[in-house]
Amino acid sequence: MKALFSLMQDTLNAAWVSRLLTLAIGLFFLMDLAPMEAVAAMGKMVGGGGVDVVNATSGATLVVQMVNKTMSDGKNVPFWVFCVSGSSNCHLPGPTLELGVGQTANFNLNVMGAPQEMPPYQGHTIHPHGLDVLQSEDGVPETGAAVLGDNYKFTVDTRYVGSHMYHCHVHTVKHLEMGMYAAFVVKAVDNLGNFTNVINQTGPAFDYEWNWVLSTVDPAYHADNAVGDSTVFADYNPKYFLVNGSEGLSKTAPAETVTAAAGKKIAIRLVGIHSVNGTFQIKDANGSSQSFVIYNRDGFALPSPQTVTSLEVNPGRTVDVMATLPAASGAWYPQITYKSLRNAAAYTNGTVYTRLNF
Amino acid sequence: MDVKIWRMFKRSEWYIAVLLLMFSGASWASTYTLYIKSGNWVVNGSGGATIKVWGFTDAPTAGPIVPGPLLESQEGESVTITVYNQHTLPHNFVVRGITTDQTQIPAGGNRTYVFTTSTAGVYLFSDTINSINREMGLYGAFVVHAAGGINKAWTNGPSFDIERLWVVSDMDKSRWNDIAGAGGTVNTSVYKPNYFMMNGMGGFDAMRAPNTVLQGNVGQVGLVRIVNAGQFDESLHFHANHFQIIDADGARLSSYEPGDTINVKAGTTAMLLYKFYRLGNYPMHVHTAQMETANGVYLNGAATLIVGQ
């Protein structure tokens, strides 16, 4: 009930902030935006975490909005999130970008009205992390990226079919922590250019796929005075541990609940934005670890897939795994345990549960 | 050159000996003398500081350097290292994966280590008596090159065009270095490092240091040897291309694993191949919150540049 209440509060806060900022931005950029068409172009409206899924070729414009989240201890934490311009569906993490291999990404960032810092860390960018793009598209201010809005164009080859991420690269110690991140998935395509459901260019097909964006939150980094070159950023004490923006403190209050048909093949894309260590496992209702297969790391196919029951997901890394569901119905609990960078000790409340019904 | 030495060098037996060594694949024996000292280490730039350290140097009259002097040899080479402890506490000297002698060297004492470097790779050398000694700066890298000094990671291993060594580390100035450096007792249960270094430098220096910046022509391959001498695991993220991990903490991979971010555990090593794919300037940085900073100042932490030309 508490989790449900928190969710409602999040939604209401996000919705009001979204409405106000969208109204303001819309007055300035009424003609510039390509709002819901980009989302609708995918044929599906939500990905993991209830976020929009956007075709990266669509010319969509992303904006940055403040979203206040009420955490499990009742405290409010402000986040800055990417959001499809014109959409009221603003979440932590931001919308998933999907790009067909060989197709040309073409999307925009509009920072008018966005929450931001004072110089030298003003504005925002999009860094297509793991896509190995040209310097001009890399979103790094220190090497020349525009911070007051930009258009991003690039293509990738078949090696990149898999999971990546995008995030702001302005003062990343602050802006990543504030929530400016999301999944970026490169999809294989058929002869007509339609996305196909394979884990990598030569890998097996899956029936279901979900993005699990991993992140951690030190509320001190979110405070109003945590700006610029502050000693706040000399220490990191995460208090909240998230999958797709939710805490998921127990199996009965999971961060994410998804459903699939028994016996089918599932793919989970782990996107590691967190700033600590993390261990991913899939357990059944009795707590027994289930095997799964690692196919990609950092969006590139492994030389040989690896079958494991536990997987370390490190900061800045992505991992694509697959599993086959049992023939009989039941539930699995994919979960991530966040751990210290010093000694791999698990944090208090550091295990985030999700639930997979089949 | 002294005339007598020159005449001796000209004698035919010297020529023959030298030629035999060169073409047999054998190499010169390496001899190093190291001194353990206390002193100060400076992280330059905004957020930087003068930090009390204990470290190694190979210059008897100079202060310690962080990391310690680069030690090098080739596969199959005999190495002799004599360590003089000029500090007030006992220390030891261990090349992880090569030597096993953990005998303490008392203050004012010395110890000589003789060993053969049979396997090419990168190794951490450090004081292993406790975590404080390493955190204070008593660490460095030992690189064993392929026999003959050829541009291969090891004999019959993958080739490279350029090579770089990155020793990453962290220090908790106020709780560890200031306390231990003043003779106090460190509470090791609390470690909150606020300095994160790349080859002993903050990012502002490391992004300009020629031997640290990963620079090459598009199409060339760089061999990057990484030593994490710190207490925190570090995830190093490369822009502009994926790399191939060829060695994980001394274990050569039978098939190279791709990645754009490599996690190097505290006290371990890795080697990877990075092919220059893009023209231009790109960052390489650690992908965790405070580790990009020097006491909170952005990008003066564990970061450097990748330059494709």
Q: Do A132 and B259 touch (CB under 8 A)?
A: no
Is the pLDDT reported for residue A33 higher than 60?
no
Q: How confident is the model at residue B7 (pLDDT cuts 50, 70, 90)?
A: very low
pLDDT average, residue stretch B100-118:
98
Interface test with A, best of B234, B242, B252, B292 (most A CBs within 10 A): B242
What are the chain B neighbours of A341 within 8 Å (beta carbons)?
A: 232-233, 288
pLDDT average, residue stretch A31-52:
51
Question: pLDDT per residue over B206-242, tens digit each?
Answer: 999 999 999 999 999 999 999 999 999 999 999 999 9
What are the chain A neighbours of B257 within 8 Å (beta carbons)?
A: 297, 302-303
Q: How confident is the model at residue A40 (pLDDT cuts 50, 70, 90)?
A: very low
Q: What are phi and psi for residue A52, nearest 5 degrees?
A: -65, 150
What are the chain A neighbours of B194 within 8 Å (beta carbons)?
A: 231, 234-235
Within 10 A of A321 (CB to CB), how many other CB atoms are there?
25
Whether B169 and B194 have beta carbons less than 8 Å apart is answered as no
B280: nearest CA in chain A? A135
Is the pLDDT reported for residue B307 higher than 50?
yes
Whether A79 and A69 have beta carbons less than 8 Å apart is answered as yes
Q: Which tokens belong to A125? A: 């960018």
Q: What is the pLDDT of residue B305?
A: 98
Q: Is A49 helix (H, G, I), strand (E, B) or coil?
A: helix
Q: Do A138 and B282 touch (CB under 8 A)?
A: yes
Is the pLDDT reported for residue B47 higher than 60?
yes
CATH fold of B162-308: Immunoglobulin-like (2.60.40)
Question: pLDDT per residue over A272-282, tens digit each?
Answer: 999 999 999 99
Q: How confident is the model at residue A50 (pLDDT cuts 50, 70, 90)?
A: confident
* Rg value, chain A, Cα: 19
B295/A contact by beta carbon, under 8 A: yes
Q: What is the pLDDT of residue A48?
A: 67
E strand segments, B86-212: 94-95, 110-117, 121-126, 139-145, 162-171, 195-198
Q: Which tokens belong to A146? A: 């525009």
Q: How confident is the model at residue A88 (pLDDT cuts 50, 70, 90)?
A: confident
- State pTM to two decimals: 0.90
Question: pLDDT per residue over A160-170, tens digit each?
Answer: 999 999 999 99
**How many whole angstroms separate alpha carbon A127 and alpha carbon A119?**
19
In the beta sheet, which residues pair with residue B51? B41
Nearest to A132 among B191, B241, B279 (CB): B241
What are the chain A neighbours of B281 within 8 Å (beta carbons)?
A: 135, 143
Burial class of residue A36, CB neighbours in 10 A (0-12, 13-18, 19+): middle
pLDDT average, residue stretch A38-49:
48
Domains and CATH numbers, chain A: 2-193 (2.60.40.420), 209-357 (2.60.40.420)
Whether B271 and B221 have beta carbons less than 8 Å apart is answered as no
DSSP A325-358: --SS--EEEEEEEEE-TTT-PEEEEEEEE-EEE-
Burial class of residue A329, CB neighbours in 10 A (0-12, 13-18, 19+): exposed
pLDDT average, residue stretch A193-219:
97
Q: What is the pLDDT of residue B289?
A: 84
Interface test with A, best of B238, B298, B306 (most A CBs within 10 A): B298
Q: Which tokens belong to B70? A: 């680069």
Q: How confident is the model at residue B29 (pLDDT cuts 50, 70, 90)?
A: confident
Burial class of residue A81, CB neighbours in 10 A (0-12, 13-18, 19+): buried
In the predicted model, what is the mean pLDDT of chain B? Answer: 93
Nearest to A298 among B233, B242, B289 (CB): B242
Residue span(s) of chain B under CATH 2.60.40.420 come to: 30-149, 162-308
What are the chain B neighbours of A218 within 8 Å (beta carbons)?
A: 289
First-to-last CA distance in chain B? 41
Model ipTM?
A: 0.90
Is the pLDDT reported for residue B247 higher than 50?
yes
B296/A contact by beta carbon, under 8 A: yes
Interface test with B, best of A235, A236, A306, A320 (most B CBs within 10 A): A235
pLDDT average, residue stretch B276-298:
97
- Quick one: which of B285, B290, B308, B267 has its CA closest to B128? B267
A217: nearest CA in chain B? B289
Q: Which residue has the higher pLDDT, A10 or B264?
A: B264
Whether A44 and A92 have beta carbons less than 8 Å apart is answered as no
B233/A contact by beta carbon, under 8 A: yes
Whether B234 and A342 have beta carbons less than 8 Å apart is answered as no
What are the chain B neighbours of A170 within 8 Å (beta carbons)?
A: none
B174: nearest CA in chain A? A234
Q: How confident is the model at residue B173 (pLDDT cuts 50, 70, 90)?
A: very high
Q: Do A303 and B256 touch (CB under 8 A)?
A: yes
Q: Do B235 and A176 touch (CB under 8 A)?
A: no
Question: pLDDT per residue over B176-191, tens digit each?
Answer: 999 999 999 999 999 9
Q: How confident is the model at residue A237 (pLDDT cuts 50, 70, 90)?
A: very high
Sequence-distant (≥ 6) Cβ neighbours of residue A39 within 8 angstroms: A45, A52, A53, A54, A60, A84, A87, A95
A132: nearest CA in chain B? B240
Q: Do B258 and A302 touch (CB under 8 A)?
A: yes
Q: What is the pLDDT of residue B272?
A: 98
In the beta sheet, which residues pair with residue A281? A335
Quote the percentage of chain B above a pLDDT of 90: 90
Length, in residues, of chain A: 358
Q: Is A31 helix (H, G, I), strand (E, B) or coil?
A: coil
What are the chain A neighbours of B293 within 8 Å (beta carbons)?
A: 173, 229, 233-234
pLDDT average, residue stretch A153-177:
98
**How many whole angstroms separate alpha carbon B268 and alpha carbon B250?**
9
B277/A contact by beta carbon, under 8 A: yes
H helix or E strand, kind and range, residue A25: helix A2-29
Architecture of the domain spanning B30-149: Sandwich (2.60)
Q: What is the pLDDT of residue B99?
A: 98
A339-343, B12-16, B138-142: segment of lowest average pLDDT: B12-16
B102/A contact by beta carbon, under 8 A: no
pLDDT average, residue stretch B258-266:
98
What are the chain A neighbours of B240 within 8 Å (beta carbons)?
A: 132, 135, 138
DSSP B181-195: HTT----TT-----E
Q: Which residue has the higher pLDDT, B251 or B7?
A: B251
What are the chain B neighbours of A143 within 8 Å (beta carbons)?
A: 280-283
Q: Do A229 and B194 touch (CB under 8 A)?
A: no
Q: What is the pLDDT of residue A47?
A: 57
In the beta sheet, which residues pair with residue A300? A297
Q: What is the pLDDT of residue A18?
A: 38
Is the pLDDT reported for residue A83 higher than 60?
yes
Q: What stretches of chain B show up as alpha helix (H) in DSSP? A: 3-10, 12-24, 131-135, 178-181, 203-206
pLDDT average, residue stretch A280-301:
98
Residue given tokens 């998921």 in the structure block: A248
Question: pLDDT per residue over B120-148, tens digit each?
Answer: 999 999 999 999 999 999 999 999 999 99
Q: What is the pLDDT of residue B16?
A: 42
Lateral strand order in the sheet of A292-297? A240-243, A208-217, A265-272, A318-324, A292-297, A300-308
First-to-last CA distance in chain A? 24
CA distances from B250 to B97, B154, B270 (A): 8, 12, 7
Q: What is the pLDDT of residue A12?
A: 37
Q: What are phi and psi for residue B31, nearest 5 degrees?
A: -130, 130
DSSP A142: G
B67-88 in b/e form (b: 16+ CB < 10 A) is: bbbebbbbbbbebebebbbbbe
Whether A17 and A67 have beta carbons less than 8 Å apart is answered as yes
What are the chain B neighbours of A276 within 8 Å (beta carbons)?
A: 288
Length, in residues, of chain B: 309
